A and B are shown apart, each in its own frame.
Chain A
Amino acid sequence: MFDKITYLDNAASTRLDERVLEAMKPYFFDTYAVATSEFGYSMGLDAKEGLMVARESIAKTLGASAEELVFTSGETESSNMAIKGVTAALRKKKGSHIIVSKIEDFPVLNTAKSLERQGFKVDYLNVDNEGSADLEQLGSLITKETALVSIQHANQEIGTLQNIKVIADICSEKDVLLHTDATHTFTRVPLDVQKLPVDLVTISAHTIHGPRGVGALYIREGTPLEKWMDGGYQESNRRAGLENIPAAVGFAKAVELVTPEENTRLAQMRDHTISKALEDIPHVTLNGSRTSRTPQNANITFHYVEGESMTLHLDMRGFAVSTGSACFSRSLEASHVILGIGGNHERAHGSLRFTFGRYNTMEDVDAVLDALKEIIEKLREISPLYVKK
């Protein structure tokens, strides 16, 4: 049917960059020992060195020191570790109240729900119709009992960037710890922990052409954090389990390969997608903000049609995109993000998320939108919701 797949779902996973693989290879075949203590054997010392260099280089991009970065298995683990670790450490000292935004990704959202079942009080912060957190409400929700606030840096589905500076200032002024999930902004949108009083930051390699299954948590020095997964004393006794050194090295390489020019190119594809869809196709709504969004994300609702039908038609023509439709999701639930910004089910079901990456081109954008235009005409033709004007 077609000889090439155009992958436009780079928020979910990305194609590994060959240079990342090359950087990882020695740690599979030559330096495959565990990172030993300084009294260990030489291969173990080399492994330890590799891990240290990777840690330093990633920490530097956040303005952090190497000791403040703990490698994890990715976004899910980092966010679990941050929230469960801080709340366990502060439950008695401070209280059992946390605040998260209602459009967080599942690692934060479902960790919050899990704490709620254990007796924590959780407030789910409102967002406006573009997905920006309600800062006034945030200020009013924080009490002496509040152990942690967790608000993402940018949204996974609609790309909305939070005003993290103001959020951090509010939290710091009220003396509450702040965690932010920066999975979809890391290296794409600047985040400097020296300028920003944020205490914990979740990052991951899978969104930047690094290997899957590796991420990290930035933990500001002095942040109370209880170890939540028992085992050995790795990562300065903060995260048990054999260090995934090849992945950590790959992560560092992936970070190094992201350039400001690439981010500009992604933003051009994003802007072209949004303006072309809005111009060429009637009855569409942009989800999220036109300006305050991650460079790689465009999310648009095509009204009167259902998402899975669109993605299947696109798949049959060689395009991979994702949708907020219930029919597409594992839980059969419509996107909580679109509903969270005040959208109805119809808006969620008809939403498509395009996320761009290193291997996409402007031609891909034109091609997917041309295909989509035809598909939508065809599907609207048979939709009982669509009345021809």
Chain B
Amino acid sequence: MKFPYTEKVLEHFRNPKNVGKLEDADGKGLEGSPACGDMVAVYLKVNPETTVIDDIKFESYGCASNIATASIITEMAKGKTIAEAKKISWQEATDELGGLPPVKRHCSVLAVEGLRSAIRDYEEKHGLISEQEPTTDEVVRNRLKHVMNPMAGLDIVRTELVTKIEVKDGVVRVVLDLPSSHQFANAIKEDLVEKLEALWDVKEVKVVFTEG
């Protein structure tokens, strides 16, 4: 039988570690939404003296990649300081799992983002973070590095699908080098809009496809 996943992924999928909710969490992160297909919640208990993550739990409404990545990343983060945990990359998590199918990268990145957003939540609550920065072309570009191009398994910025970014009065306009009829056009658009709408000062996101 040939599953598209490594034995390690399947093991974490079958028996995920650190599952559940921490009622008195010091930091909480929620990434994704039912609309984008996957959702992950991460809960942290942090030692205020050392900033070491004493306990960590996750919940997932997601596919196998999402569950397995969330499981491994909570194992990796436990016992680390928040500064160290913040640095755990998607690549490191994937390597631990023995690799993931490129098309599933999006679902697994979400788990990594869940951990980071739980840490950000902790930092915000404990006055460890500065003012919110206004959204610029650069902020948008960085954010779009989290939107996957399922054809390549890499993000849409690195694979040069994004040809133009404009930010004006809270309206973000992104031009993609992709026809609207493309197999992945809607999937990419949904993901992109969701990522950018989450920015605090963005009111509207416009996606322009390049036809022909």
Contact = CB atoms under 8 A, between A and B. Distances in A.
Nearest to A345: B35
A96 B10 CA distance: 52
B127 to A, nearest CB: 27
A306 B184 contact: no
A286 interface: no
A113 B38 contact: no
Interface string B4-30: 000000100110100110000000001
Contacts of B19: 381-382
B78 to A, nearest CB: 17
Contacts of B181: 113, 117
B150 interface: yes
Interface in A315-362: 315-316, 325-327, 330-334, 344-346, 349
Interface centre among B36, B58, B61, by most chain A C-beta atoms within 10 angstroms, is: B61
B187 interface: yes
Given A312-B13, A316-B14, A385 B64 contact: no
A326 B187 contact: yes
B64 A346 contact: no
Interface centre among A305, A308, A331, by most chain B C-beta atoms within 10 angstroms, is: A308
B107 interface: yes
Interface in B22-64: 30, 34-41, 58-64
B196 interface: no
Interface centre among A307, A344, A384, A385, by most chain B C-beta atoms within 10 angstroms, is: A384
A334 B37 contact: yes
Interface in A290-305: 304-305
Contacts of B63: 306-309, 312, 325, 327
Nearest to A310: B63
A312 B36 CA distance: 19
B150 A332 contact: yes
A307 B34 CA distance: 12
Nearest to A307: B63
B183 interface: yes
A312 B64 contact: yes
Contact of B183 (A315, A331, A334, A385): A331
Contacts of B62: 306, 309, 327
Interface string B175-212: 00000010110110000000000000000000000000
Given A315-B3, A330-B183, A333-B187, A383 B37 contact: no
Contacts of B16: 382
Nearest to A304: B61
A191 B58 CA distance: 52
B93 to A, nearest CB: 18
A305 B38 contact: no
Contacts of B60: 382-384
Interface residues of B, number: 35
B67 interface: yes
A333 B19 CA distance: 28
A367 to B, nearest CB: 18
B161 interface: no
A113 B182 CA distance: 12
B5 to A, nearest CB: 8
Contacts of B39: 384-385
Interface in B123-182: 150, 181
Nearest to B35: A345
Contacts of B34: 344-346, 349, 385
A323 to B, nearest CB: 10
A326 B37 contact: yes
Contacts of B40: 384
Interface of A: 113, 117, 304-309, 312, 315-316, 325-327, 330-334, 344-346, 349, 381-386
Interface of B: 3, 10, 13-14, 16, 19-20, 30, 34-41, 58-64, 66-67, 103-104, 106-107, 150, 181, 183-184, 186-187
Given A381-B20, A384-B39, A384-B61, 20 more contacts: A308-B63, A309-B13, A312-B64, A316-B10, A325-B63, A326-B37, A327-B37, A327-B38, A327-B104, A331-B187, A332-B187, A334-B37, A344-B34, A345-B36, A382-B59, A383-B59, A383-B60, A384-B40, A384-B60, A386-B61
26 contacts: A307-B63, A308-B64, A309-B67, A312-B3, A312-B13, A316-B10, A325-B37, A330-B183, A331-B184, A331-B186, A332-B184, A344-B34, A344-B35, A345-B34, A345-B36, A346-B34, A346-B35, A349-B34, A381-B20, A382-B16, A382-B20, A383-B60, A383-B61, A384-B41, A385-B39, A386-B61
